[in-house]
Amino acid sequence: MDYFHLSATPDQLAALSNLGLAHLGDGVYELMVRSYLCLEGRSTNKGLHRAAVGYVSAAAQAAAVRTVLPLLTPEEAEVFRRGRNASPHTVPPHARREDYAAATALEALFGWLWLRGETGRLNQLFATIMEETQWP
């Protein structure tokens, strides 16, 4: 299997839990952020980790959601709703519950798109987030 060029079937996607999609999407989103920071020269080596954390925190991802939510297709919006309604056992102490739910939903969407092999759509949504979100 080629894990960089995936094309999961609808049955495979339906079998995954919402939190499973979010777990995968968290990695996809963080890799995109790290790539962005390195390639755009947005931070020095010393500050790369700190900068990445600023982009992937629950609060930052919740802000990103407000940017992309109006752009989602009906199918993407359904995946987003699935992710938002996931029931994590814990919420980090530094995150608000509503921000954490929004971040989980965004991550689930990114995981779902990754598994479908929709890298063009991932890039489109990510570019919109980077261009239009007010970062902390």
The catalytic site residues sit at 26
Buried b (16+ CB within 10 A) or exposed e, 59-85: bbbbbbbebbeeebeeebeebbebbbe
Question: Number of helices and strands (H, E) in the chain?
Answer: 7, 0
Distance in Å from the first CA to the final CA of the chain:
39
